[in-house]
Amino acid sequence: MNPETKLEELLIDAEADDEGVQHTPPVVSRPWLLIMGLILVAMNLRPALSSLSPLLSAVSDSLGLSAAKAGLLTTLPVLCLGLFAPLAPLLARRFGAERVVLGILLTLAGGITLRSAFGEVGLFAGSLIAGASIGIIGVLLPGIVKRDFAKQAGTMTGVYTMALCLGAALAAGATVPLSHYFGDSWSVGLGFWIVPALVAALFWLPQVGQKHGAHQVAYRVKGLLRDPLAWQVTLYMGLQSSLAYIVFGWVPSILIDRGLSATDAGLALSGSIIVQLLSALTAPWLATRGKDQRLAIVVVMLLTLAGLFGCLYAPLEGLWGWAVLLGLGQGGTFSLALTLIVLRSRDSHVAANLSGMAQGIGYTLASMGPLAVGLVHDWTGGWAAVGWIFAVIGVGAIVAGLGAGRALYVGVSSEKV
């Protein structure tokens, strides 16, 4: 299969081991309603993460949180992305993917409510619940898209990516103005994001009960954990994600301490996320024009590091230029991480299992980045030393990417059971 064809499979199906799902044509009675539901659900997979960072200083001051505790607060949701991702296919096989998505959307809304209205305990418990919810939906949603829109997988990949970025950008840019509008209440600013979660649940409700094919476990893949190439893909996914969640969790706080208002810091993050769309949609296409993906991996990671160092050290007059570089880099690193999962797999069953490994282990690893930033800031009382964290993670991602970007397949295959 050539690279252009394989890029049509960027939406990895978490239930690819279910033969019935693979071979039974889906029944979609109202595709426009499904598309609207998918877009609204996808838009809710980032606001719980990106809405907190512009208000992190206000939340910390209000509740008396140390930088270490604030670091833990930014780490918990990301950690849960990895820890709870493996539950998604198990829940889907038992209850059906559509029912699970609806139930977890309500759980997400509950987590957002908890963290915004019940003090420090609620803040941490709600962040944990929100992260777990996002981790489960984030694994299931691409599979639903791929199953029900198999002939439009490439187009729907772009729609899915745009919805993710739009949700993150809206939350990053609008949370502080919302909190100001409601009497400088960070609680209302964070709690507002329960509204799009409930709206998404309302639009998703018609999908529950629809018949999309029987679930029958028919394939298994063994040996991924012993394969070096699989680990290189996983490490690249985890390390580039670590930088992404450092940006979500800490860059607004860095910019505020450098002299920006909370509103301007949130807008800078929002703008950077919007720019990610350009490279997220083009980087995979460009990366498959050459013999492998190593050059593309190095280029997008260097853009990411340049943007991060610019936001941390360069004069604020040029901030928007650095924010654009950061967005171009991070949009490319994320989309290439997804691309590598497909290109390094011989078939969809291997890809589904490699995706589970890369997300489960990778996101768990990624959670250590935001925690490390909080600890270093707490120890040093400033942000200058955080640049070393950026450098170590970035170099590690390049090293892992140089291995993962080679034109090889992981040394495992799927077998029918």
Question: pLDDT digits over 271-312, tens only?
Answer: 999 999 888 888 888 887 878 999 999 999 999 999 999 999
Q: Which of 84, 76, 68 is nearest to 52 (CA)?
A: 76
What sign does the CA torsion over 283, 286, 291, 295 have? Answer: negative
pLDDT at residue 31, rounded to an integer:
76
pLDDT category at 81 given cuts 50, 70, 90 is: confident
The DSSP element (H or E) to which 356 belongs, if any, is helix 348-366
CA distance 6 to 165: 23
Digit-coded pLDDT (tens) for 5-22: 455 555 556 665 555 454
Confidence of residue 162 (pLDDT cuts 50, 70, 90): confident
Lowest mean pLDDT among 142-156, 261-275, 308-322: 142-156
414 DSSP β-pair partners: 221
For the cut 80, the answer to whether the pLDDT of residue 67 exceeds it is no
Question: CA Rg, the chain, in Å?
Answer: 20
Q: Other CB atoms closer than 10 Å to residue 368's CB: what's the count?
A: 18
Q: Quick one: pLDDT at residue 127?
A: 92
What mean pLDDT value characterizes the chain?
A: 85
Residue 209's Cα: distance from chain center in Å? 28
pLDDT reported for residue 223: 80
* DSSP codes, 178-221: HHHHTTS-HHHHHHTTHHHHHHHHHHHGGGTT-------B-EEE
Exposure class string for 231-256: b at 16+ Cβ within 10 A, else e: bbbbbbbbbbbbbbbbbbbbbbbbbb
> Is residue 117 a contact partner of residue 187, using CB atoms and an 8 Å limit?
yes
The pLDDT value given to residue 12:
59
The 10s digit of each residue's pLDDT in 184-203 is: 888 999 999 999 999 999 99
pLDDT recorded at residue 208: 83
| Residue 119, burial from CB neighbour count under 10 angstroms (0-12, 13-18, 19+) | exposed
Mean pLDDT of 239-261: 93
**Which residues are 415's β-sheet partners?**
220
The pLDDT of 35-41, averaged and rounded, is: 90
Distance CA 144, CA 167 (A): 19
Higher pLDDT, 65 or 295: 295
- Please state which of the ranges 2-11, 95-104, 205-214, 386-395 shows the lowest mean pLDDT: 2-11
Of the candidates 124, 112, 149, 133, the residue with the CA atom closest to the CA atom of residue 13:
149
Q: What is the pLDDT of residue 399?
A: 97
Average pLDDT over residues 354-376: 89
Q: Which of 74, 55, 50, 77 is nearest to 169 (CA)?
A: 50
State residue 18's pLDDT score.
57
- Mean of the pLDDT values across residues 41-58? 88
Rounded to an integer, the average pLDDT of 378-395 is: 94
Give me the pLDDT at residue 214, please: 44
